[in-house]
Structures are given as C-alpha cells and as structure tokens.
Amino acid sequence: MSRYFISLIGLFWIVSGLAQQESIDLQPKDTVRYDEPYGIRVGIDLNRPLITFLNDDYTGFEIVGDYRITRKLYLAAELGNEKKTRSELLGNDLNEGQFEIYNFTTSGSYLKLGVDYNTYENWYGMNNSIFIGGRYAISSHSQTLNNYTLFDSNRYWSPDGFVPGSLEPEEFGGLSASWLEFVFGTKVELFANIFLGASVRLAFLVTNKEADRFPNLWIPGFNKVTDGSNFGVGYNYTLSYFLPLYKKAKKKKVEEAPQGQ
C-alpha cells in the first residue's frame, strides 16, 4: 500500500513540475493569425447597359478591375466604349417652342488607370471597402456633325434668326483627350467573392485635341464638356467578382484581460 502511495506522490510532483514550466499569464498578449486574400477583382459597370437599354441616343459598356497590392492599397483600372448623340436646342421647355441648332454624335473608347486606398477598417474576416483614389484617363474618339443651322442677322428673310445649314453628316476623326479623376466610392461583399460597388468621380480636363470647325462637346469617359470649364462629373455602379490568388497573414490582437481578473 505504501508503494502505491509513494508512486502517487511521485506522479504528482512530475505533473506539478511540467505545469510550472508554462507560466500562467492573466494578461495574454498572444495573437491570432488570419489569412487575408489577395488577387484580382473584375466586373462591369451596371449603369451604362441600363442607360443603353432605356435611351436610343446612347450606347455604352465599361469593364472595371482592381488588384490588391497591400492591406489598404489597390491598383485600379476601367476600360470602356461609349457612343452618344446630342442636340443643342434653343427655346422654351415646350417641345413646339424649341429649335434645334445642331445635332452631333460622339463615339470612342477610353482607359483609366490609377489607385484606390481603403479607408475602412474591416471587422475580423470582412473585405468591404470605403475608398478614395485617383485616375489618369485618356480617350480616343471621333465626332460626327449630323446637321446644323446658321444664324442670319437679316431678320427680314429669317425671322427666327436661323437658316438651314447642312443635313449631310460630317465626321471629325483623330480626336483625343486626357484628364485626372478624383474618386470616392465603396465596395460591399454581397456573397462570397461577389461585390457591389458605387463611386463618384470629379474630373479635370488636362488635354483636349479637337477639330478646328467643331469642338469636343462630349468626351467618352469624361461626359459633357462645359464651356469655359475643365471640370466634369461622373459616376458608376459596379458588380464584380474577386479571384483570390494568394493569401497574406493578418495578425489580430487578442483583447487583454482586465487587471485583477
């Protein structure tokens, strides 16, 4: 009996010695590892196909994408094509009181390259973003003057001041423009790797190559050109898919236990 008692005491001292090798820390500072996905996100702008469907005078399509390079920084790009027909009208808001001065069609492609910075601190395991960013954009396009009228100061023969000009379309090719964009937007993960996004863009026109006889009144990717101003405004709504290529570890600190507990 004494032999079993001595063996039990020996086992107790062995277990106690092993337990004492690992000190008990009432204020743990260990970290938990979480692997964040890095990769390419590609999608389309939902706004342009919708406008194409609803308006006969517009056709457009845009592909969007970004590539995550750090926890907060993304390389971003947009590639698109647009065709827009516009008329300049003179008169009141009543259709019967408006007079068309000219009608033109702009068609071309554009490319935007830049970066986005995520300002949103995600909860553990989330990949949403509220971002600010910048783009350098270029456009290559052409304009077709479909018809126009001429102003005649002799009101005897033309009481409204305008006489018919030409109904033969005249195309001006080789046009281009470049601009800078400030971007503010958000992307929310609806389902696994499926993101819904929206952004607002303030653009500043840097270069504008236009025809001698007809100015660039509308630029693909930039939108309407305002007389006497180099600023433009745009927006988009995107649906994109994220393709994870690899993961990087993100360490999340475990909350420290209050002292005295």
Tell me the per-residue pLDDT of 210-240, one tens digit each, with 9 for 90 and over.
998 888 999 999 999 988 889 999 999 999 9
Read off the pLDDT of each residue in 103-127 and give the average, rounded to a whole number. 92
> Given CA atoms 214, 217, 219, 225 in this order, what sign does their dihedral have?
positive
Bigger pLDDT: 200 vs 169: 200
Read off the pLDDT of each residue in 251-256 and give the average, rounded to a whole number. 54
Question: For residue 249, is pLDDT > 60?
Answer: yes
Report the amino acid identity of residue 25.
D
Read off the pLDDT of each residue in 78-94 and give the average, rounded to a whole number. 83
Average pLDDT, the chain: 82
Read off the pLDDT of each residue in 48-63 and give the average, rounded to a whole number. 95
Question: For residue 159, is pLDDT > 80?
Answer: no
Cα–Cα separations (whole angstroms), residue 147 to 44, 55, 76, 105, 161: 34, 20, 39, 10, 17
Instruction: Extract the runs of DSSP E, i.e. beta strands, from 92-220.
Output: 98-118, 129-151, 162-166, 170-191, 194-209, 218-219
Least confidently predicted of 43-47, 130-134, 143-147: 143-147
pLDDT band with cut points at 50, 70 and 90 for residue 128? very high
pTM flag (> 0.85): no
pLDDT band with cut points at 50, 70 and 90 for residue 5? very low
Bigger pLDDT: 12 vs 10: 10
What's the confidence (pLDDT) of residue 127?
Answer: 87
What domains are there in the chain, each with its CATH number?
Answer: 35-246 (2.40.160)
Percent of residues, the chain, with pLDDT higher than 90? 57
What's the confidence (pLDDT) of residue 167?
Answer: 73
Question: For residue 206, is pLDDT > 60?
Answer: yes
Read off the pLDDT of each residue in 38-59 and give the average, rounded to a whole number. 95
What's the confidence (pLDDT) of residue 1?
Answer: 47
The β-bridge partners of 184 are 132, 200
What's the confidence (pLDDT) of residue 130?
Answer: 96
Going by the DSSP 8-state scheme, the letter that residue 221 receives in this structure is T
d(CA 249, CA 32): 10
Least confidently predicted of 28-37, 38-47, 167-176: 28-37
Helix or strand run (H / E) with residue 73: strand 73-91
What's the confidence (pLDDT) of residue 158?
Answer: 57
Question: For residue 23, is pLDDT > 50?
Answer: no
Read off the pLDDT of each residue in 46-54 and give the average, rounded to a whole number. 95
Is there a contact between 223 and 232 (Cβ–Cβ < 8 Å)? yes
